[in-house]
Amino acid sequence: MARAPVSKTGGWGFETLHPCHGAPLPGRHFSTRLRPTFRKDTVLAFAPIKFLRDVRLEAGRVTWPSRRETGITTIMVIVMAVLVAVFFVLVDQVIGAAIRWAFGTV
């Protein structure tokens, strides 16, 4: 008669895999060097002049709201915040009254 495996893995030879022991990703090779090496033919990953040019180009594409639209939107946000605050105060009072009634502390 066979015994049932005791471990959760069912005796499949499970071995823990710690984060530092993970398998390398496809196309990636891990090096044992501590310091990175730089090749002369490496392209600069960040070009500040190109970045500023792209930022200026994107800023020109933005549709900015008018002063009136900004004012109306601001007022709507304030009104909605007040309405939500009043709603939650009322809900809190109703729930508090129901709990006081349920526990008989009216």
Q: Kindly report, residue by residue over 5-64, the tens digit of the pLDDT.
A: 565 555 555 566 565 655 555 555 555 555 555 566 656 677 889 999 999 999 989 998
What's the pTM value of the predicted model, to 2 decimals?
Answer: 0.45
- b/e sequence 75-84, b meaning 16+ C-beta within 10 Å: eeeeeeeeee
Residue 86 reports pLDDT greater than 70: yes
For the chain, what is the radius of gyration of the CA atoms? Answer: 32
Q: What is the pLDDT of residue 13?
A: 58
In this predicted structure, the answer to whether residue 83 has a pLDDT above a threshold of 70 is yes
| Among 11, 79, 99, CA closest to 3 | 11
Record the tokens describing residue 50, joined without a space. 């190109």
The total number of residues written for the chain in this structure: 106
